[in-house]
Amino acid sequence: MKSEPIILVNKLSKEHKMHRKEEGVKGSLKALVHREYTTIPAVKDVSFSIHPGELVGFIGSNGAGKTTTLKMLSGLLEPSGGSVEVLGYRPAERKVGYLKQISFVMGQKNQLLWDIPAIDSFNLNRDIYEVPEKHYREVLDELVELLDLKDILHTQVRRLSLGQRMKCEFVAALIHTPKVLFLDEPTLGLDVVVQQRIREFIKAYNKRYGATVMLTSHYMDDVKEICERIIIIDHGKVFFDGKIDQLIQQYATHKTLNLTLAETATRQNLAKYGDIIELAGPTVILKTPTPKTSMIAAELLANFKVIDVTISEPRLEDIVREVITQRVILDS
């Protein structure tokens, strides 16, 4: 890519300070005089850079440090060490010029006011972000169209479904057409239809406005469909940064062979072909090394009465899980 990176993260770390208090009244009194803290190293050593217009999936297990990193990028948390630069700003300074160009959407937190219609919250954000009226109208129309929200703009937010609310959260977060979007679990808990709609919307927004998107999600379908590049973080450290294809090539060492046989086979007969994952009557599932899979399939077809055979690639979530667990084993 020719352009300069828009997000620069270098050796970033964050220790959350937790106030430690002994139990009971005595403990509370002691804590008044003498505060003790425990520190939790949430992010240890994170470096990456992102170019304008990229769609990056930021993934890892619970507690890996994703939200903490996104909070530092959006300026909600001050780093303990290292540096972050986004659009030439230091996010923690929370300069207006910076905040006007970014947005942070958290699936579990809402910014819309509960008791008023969504349109009133949009108007409020127009004023806060000083969006010129004409531009506001254009963007609003476009977002409402993309998310199919025309009929519910004037409904009190508390009466909307979770999916409708989340779509409205997106409009509220994007009405100032930010250049950089931080999305933290934006599809959490939504039904599959709304999830799909939001995925398409994120891609469309990226295309339409050239926005840079960094997204965390537990749903690998989100990541597969939206992102080309993924950054995997574990225990506060980045251990993979690259294209999804590259991850699959590097780590998907096995495929799965699913067979339906016309006869029952024994473990003994099948063991030499691969790891037996399932053997239930005529159904056999074998795990086989990727480069040998087609050869093994051919041998099985020659040696057994096979009714049906399919070969499946490992799912992204399985690869990610496997890579993370392997790392835990290697590290300990």
Ligand X SMILES: Nc1ncnc2c1ncn2[C@@H]1O[C@H](COP(=O)(O)OP(=O)(O)O)[C@@H](O)[C@H]1O
Q: Which of residues 63-92 bind ligand X (CB under 6 A)?
A: 63-68
Q: Which is nearer to Mg ion, 12 or 140 (CB)?
A: 12
**67 is a site residue for Mg ion (CB under 5 A):** yes
| Cα→Cα distances 100→7, 84, 114, 128, 166, Å | 16, 18, 24, 9, 21
Indicate the SS3 state at residue 304: coil
The site partner of 128 among Mg ion, ligand X, none (C-beta below 5 to 8 Å per kind) is none
Residue 280 dihedral angles phi and psi, to the nearest 5°: -130, 100
Amino acid residing at 143: L
Runs of H (alpha helix) within the chain:
24-33, 66-74, 96-99, 118-128, 133-147, 162-174, 192-209, 220-226, 244-251, 267-270, 293-303, 316-331
Q: Beta-carbon neighbour count of residue 143 at 10 Å?
A: 24
Per the CB < 8 A criterion, the answer to whether 54 and 227 are in contact is: no
CB-nearer residue toward Mg ion: 182 or 273: 182
Neighbours of 55 (CB within 10 A): 21
Which residue number, 13 or 67, has a Cβ lying nearer to Mg ion?
Answer: 67
Least Cβ distance, residue 203 to ligand X (angstroms): 23
Q: Is 291 helix (H, G, I), strand (E, B) or coil?
A: helix
Binding segment for Mg ion among 64-72, 115-123, 269-277, 315-323 (CB under 5 A)?
64-72
Residues in contact with ligand X, total (CB under 6 A)? Answer: 12
Place of tokens 């996010």: 91
Q: Per CB under 6 A, which of residues 225..254 are in contact with ligand X?
A: none
The option from Mg ion, ligand X, none interacting with 42 (CB < 5 to 8 A, set by class) reads ligand X
Where in 9-28 is the site for ligand X (CB under 6 A)?
A: 16, 18
Q: Identify the bridge partners of residue 288 per DSSP, sorted by sequence position.
A: 255
Q: What tokens appear for 199 in the block?
A: 């995925």
Indicate which of Mg ion, ligand X, none lies near residue 6 (CB less than 5 to 8 Å, by partner kind): none
* Segment holding 185, helix H or strand E: none
CA nearest neighbour of 275 among 293, 294, 262: 293
Judged by beta carbon distances under 5 to 8 A according to partner kind, the member of ligand X, Mg ion, none in contact with residue 288 is none
Distance in Å, CB of 226 to ligand X, minimum:
18
CA distances from 39 to 14, 20, 80, 176, 297 (A): 10, 10, 11, 37, 53
- What are the helix (H) ranges across 22-161? 24-33, 66-74, 96-99, 118-128, 133-147
Smallest distance from ligand X to CB 39, Å: 9
Binding-site size for Mg ion (CB under 5 A) equals 2
Residue number, 131 or 181, with CB nearest to ligand X: 181
Of 26-65, binders to ligand X (CB under 6 A) are 40, 42, 60, 62-65
Per CB under 6 A, does 223 bind ligand X?
no
Quick note: the x/- pattern for Mg ion over 178-217, rule CB under 5 A, is: ----------------------------------------
Q: Is 69 in the site for Mg ion (CB under 5 A)?
A: no
Binds 293, which of Mg ion, ligand X, none (CB < 5 to 8 A, cut-off by type)?
Answer: none
Cα–Cα distance measured from residue 305 to residue 264, given in angstroms and rounded to the nearest whole number? 10
**Residue 74 interacting partner from Mg ion, ligand X, none (CB closer than 5 to 8 Å by kind):** none
Residue 321 site contact among ligand X, Mg ion, none (CB < 5 to 8 Å, cut-off depends on kind): none
User: Which residues of this protein are in contact with ligand X, per CB under 6 A?
Assistant: 16, 18, 40, 42, 60, 62-68
User: Which residues of this protein are in contact with Mg ion, per CB under 5 A?
Assistant: 66-67
